[in-house]
Structure 1
């Protein structure tokens, strides 16, 4: 088993980002259609974010 080992050159940030993006794309497209549906939707959150104004009750008006 002859195996040539080349010294690893430093990877630039641009190359690292390209590799990461390609891996992410492959992961997303690699699954079945059912799995892709689950990945593409966001978790539902409560839409009741605004708190009622208690100023009248606090001031006694």
Structure 2
């Protein structure tokens, strides 16, 4: 595993509540040689605003159109 792959594996995180998109996200990361995907099967709207750490405020997300 290269340094780039290790960095990606450590920094890519995500949450998905629906089973099919969760499976697709994990499969996609496997196909891109991320051996341990950090995708949680949880509802991101179920968290209290005050529990979000400052480091989690930044980032981006992608969502497929409905």
What is the TM-score normalised by the length of structure 1? Answer: 0.29
Query: Highest relative contact order (Cα 8 Å, sep 6+), 1 or 2?
Result: 2
Q: Which has the larger radius of gyration?
A: 1
Greater percentage in strand: 2
